[in-house]
Amino acid sequence: MVNFKGAFTKWLGPITPYFSIGAGYMYFFSDSFKAGEKLDGGVNHTVAWNFACGIETQICEDLTCYVQGQSVIGSLEEPRQYFPVVAGVRMRLF
C-alpha cells in the first residue's frame, strides 16, 4: 500500500488526531468452511484501498506511540472489507 497521512488540525498537542488514505496491492488467502465441511478458499491478488483514523502521542523526541482504526477494501469477485485496529510505536531514525 502507498499511503498519505494528514492531520485534522494544525494543533499539535499531547494527543494528535490524524487520518490516512491509500491504495495498493492485496494478496488474499483463505480456507473456507461451511457447516462443518471444508470448501476450497483459494488465493487472490487484487487492487485495494484503505482509509484510517488514529491518534498519536510523542513519548520522547524520537519515539511516538499510536492507535488507529482502519478500513481495507479489496475488489475481488466478492469484495472483501476488513477493519483492523493497530497499535504500535514509531521510531525516528534520522
Cut 0.95: pTM above it: no
Regions of the chain short of the pLDDT cut 50: none
What is the C-alpha separation between 73 and 40, in angstroms, rounded? 22
pLDDT at res. 24: 94
pLDDT at res. 45: 80
pLDDT at res. 37: 55
38-59: pLDDT as tens digits = 555 667 788 899 999 999 999 9
Q: Where are the domains of the chain?
A: 2-91
**What's the N-to-C CA distance of the chain in angstroms?**
23
- Return the biggest CA–CA distance within the chain: 54
pLDDT at res. 31: 65
